[in-house]
Amino acid sequence: MKNNIKIALVLSVCALSACEKKASQGDDSKTVTLDLRDEERNDITSMNDGTTDKNRKIVERAFDDWVEEKGSLFDLLDENMVWQVTGRAPFSGVYRGKQEFIDKAVVPINDYLSTSIKPELIDINASGDVVWLQWKGAATAVNGDPYLNEYAWKLRFGDSGKIIAVDAFLDTYTLSKLVGE
């Protein structure tokens, strides 16, 4: 919650002081500026104390390992994390804990595939404890059909350096076709 307030403050500062918003009324023009006390400035500038870069690099390394079949992003998950798959398709819902997610989503989905999903990075962005990962995956279904899907994952890191929450967005129609629903 505290980070959300800080982010809102940073956005407000950008909108008000850096951009110098001008409001016109008739012939008058007013410039709105915001004066920050030194401690407020320090609080804003210390928000990125290296966390953003550290978390981004952790995800980049794990993704590269996944591409090279030396590991997976699931290795970064905290044992007590919460994984939410959006939508109303098979496997959509909330999984509480790494093991529940693996047992009730990852393993059953893999049962419909004859090859593992080959990931390809599209984009990665980070801000503080959140890393957004956009990627596409390709595999072959057990019936021989190609399985191609695109994903966007919002990964939230905890103090331990592990992922504690994920919001997963994907083409649930494609997933539904894979599992025959």
Instruction: Based on the fold, state whether residues 76 and 111 are members of the same structural domain.
Output: yes
CATH assignment of the domain containing 125: 3.10.450.50
Instruction: Based on the fold, state whether residues 87 and 16 are members of the same structural domain.
Output: no
CA distance 16 to 1: 22
pLDDT of residue 40: 47
pTM equals: 0.73
Instruction: Based on the fold, state whether residues 79 and 34 are members of the same structural domain.
Output: no
- Expressed as residue numbers, the domain containing 25 is 2-45
Instruction: Based on the fold, state whether residues 81 and 170 are members of the same structural domain.
Output: yes
As a whole-number percent, the residues of the chain with pLDDT over 70 amount to 73
Q: Which of 34-43, 50-59, 62-71 has the lowest mean pLDDT?
A: 34-43
User: If residue 133 lies in a helix (H) or strand (E), which one and from where to where?
Assistant: strand 130-140
Three-class secondary structure of residue 153 per DSSP = strand
Instruction: Based on the fold, state whether residues 116 and 59 are members of the same structural domain.
Output: yes
Q: In the block, which residue shows the tokens 């984009």?
A: 123
